[in-house]
Chain A
Amino acid sequence: MKYMLLIYQNPAAFQELPEAGRQALMDEAGAIVSELIETGEWVGGEGLADPATARTVRVREGVPAVTDGPYAEAKEQIVGYCVVDCETPERAVEIAARWPDARLWGMEVRPMLSPDGLEAPM
């Protein structure tokens, strides 16, 4: 079963960390990724550039309107994601709980829709 782990950060708070502190966080996450590759649970993932680089696109009556920045001005923003394939939802939560961002900000664990379906209920 695949889960997407959405990584939330407060970009301002992250920037205020000393360089060594930022590096330590990234190393910590990198070590978890290596471990998940090793266990065969890693499907993929990427970090995202700063939310300040984002564009929001909305098409209304066929006309696209593009605005700078993310739509929601929340303090915590999605800064990356990873997809893991693991046996139980508990395991997905366990992986998320180890992410340094979970300690400092938050992680969201979302089951991914599967293209399979068993026979519909009678």
Chain B
Amino acid sequence: MSSGDPAEGLLRELTPQVLGALVRRYGNFAACEDAVQEALIAAAAQWPRQGIPSRPAGWLLTVASRRLADQLRSDEARRRREENFARDGLDRPGAAQPGDSPAAAAGLPGGETGGDDTLTLLFLCCHPELTPASQIALTLRAVAGLSTAEIARAFLVPEATMAQRISRAKQRIAAAGARFDPPPPGELPRRLQVVLHVLYLMFNEGYAATSGPAAVRPELTGEAIRLARIVHRSLPAEGEAAGLLALMLLTEARRPARTRPDGALVPLAEQDRSAWDRALIKEGTALVTATLAAAPVGPYQLQAAIAAVHAEAAQASQTDWRQILALYNLLSTLSPSPVVSLNRAVAVAMVRGPAAGLAELAALDGNDQLAGQHRLAAVRAHLLELAGDASGAADQYRLAARRVVSAPERRHLLDRAARLSGPSPD
């Protein structure tokens, strides 16, 4: 996926368009999705050798339609054997029969319906009946055009596990009676929130800092950004869609500086800011600025605004912490959570001093959601370090390291504890 193969990029782009056209024509999302996957595999095998066809979308649609016809024929035979005439919930009455004349559909609808189909597919894959893990997996396959093997590799699970998860997700959507239609206007805000959350999780999943096995993970962050762009383009008036895209761009901008060559994490304050991607920062900052001025404010916009304030400081010491604290205050009001409170405590410490920040943390001690997690101890360690309490900070870093389940973070926390515990023997 990281390869710059032009055919691969084209396939990713065409996937939702071809799938949208196929579902529109024949109904039965689950079967159409399988057929498109097979067409993608055929294209990946043939195009590099024979060249990209002059009408690539039509080519894919024709191949997918044939596969669909084959599949439905064999399904039909099996059904007859079993005398089971149960109908798929996604079937549309009166849908065209696959194999009728796939070539007639070869001229795919142009850009505008293509974009709408992609959005409709996103809503379908991010169906509220599915768990977040299934929503992400199905979105990556049906909308982003990744193969099951690639998705399995991205989540470090066996391909069979991922295949099962995807097939079950499709069954659930069918059982829920979902249709290939945009959500009704009354449901749009709630459904859009789910789509944005799925893209946010997909981005985070890909925002991995590590060498080793994960270095071969597909670029989930890149896919999340690409899909967030599509959502923003389709729904330009939705402030949170713009906010999420801006947040992703501003976070992605820091990627080159956030790990050392050996894979160790670099905290924000110590990052080499000259390595940050200026173009992404410019785009993300402009987007969040314009959105905050035009749309009702929301949590993604506020997080993007905080990232933008960090981005505009040429050095960590020049960070405008007052503005960041004001944004966190707003975020705590709008969408309170223990994690927001933790981040806000850091901002309080930077504005009013570490003691004030530590006092904020004391209020979180009894919080069930944070109990047993590493975050509270890690932030407390950081603030104790700022306050000059080296041994207290080292203890808290070690406590955090025992609780964290991320290998790179554990390494980072143990490094900090070791640094504070005095010079190492060598």
Contacts and interface: CB of A to CB of B under 8 A. Distances in A.
Q: Report whether chain A binds chain B.
A: yes
Nearest to A116: B208
B371 to A, nearest CB: 12
A42 B161 contact: yes
Nearest to A122: B268
Chain B binding surface SS class = helix
6 contacts: A38-B164, A43-B161, A87-B131, A87-B132, A118-B409, A121-B346
B209 interface: yes
Contact of A115 (B132, B168, B213, B267): B213
B382 A119 contact: no
A119 B207 CA distance: 9
Interface size class of A (residues with CB under 8 A): 20 to 34
Interface stretch (A22-30, A63-71, A74-82, A106-114): A106-114
A2 to B, nearest CB: 8
B280 to A, nearest CB: 16
B209 A122 contact: no
Given A111-B405, A115-B408, A116-B210, A122 B267 contact: yes
A114 B405 contact: yes
B41 interface: no
A39 interface: yes
Q: Which of B155, B160, B254, B269 has most chain A Cβ within 10 Å?
A: B160
Interface of A: 1-2, 37-44, 85, 87, 111-122
A87 B210 CA distance: 22
A41 B168 CA distance: 11
Interface size class of B (residues with CB under 8 A): 35 or more
Chain A binding surface SS class = loop
B54 interface: no
A115 B162 CA distance: 19
A113 B407 contact: yes
A115 B166 CA distance: 23
Contacts of B207: 116, 118-119
A106 B266 CA distance: 41
Given A37-B161, A40-B162, A43-B161, 17 more contacts: A1-B405, A2-B156, A38-B168, A40-B161, A40-B168, A85-B161, A111-B405, A115-B213, A116-B205, A117-B409, A118-B207, A120-B412, A121-B346, A121-B378, A122-B267, A122-B269, A122-B346
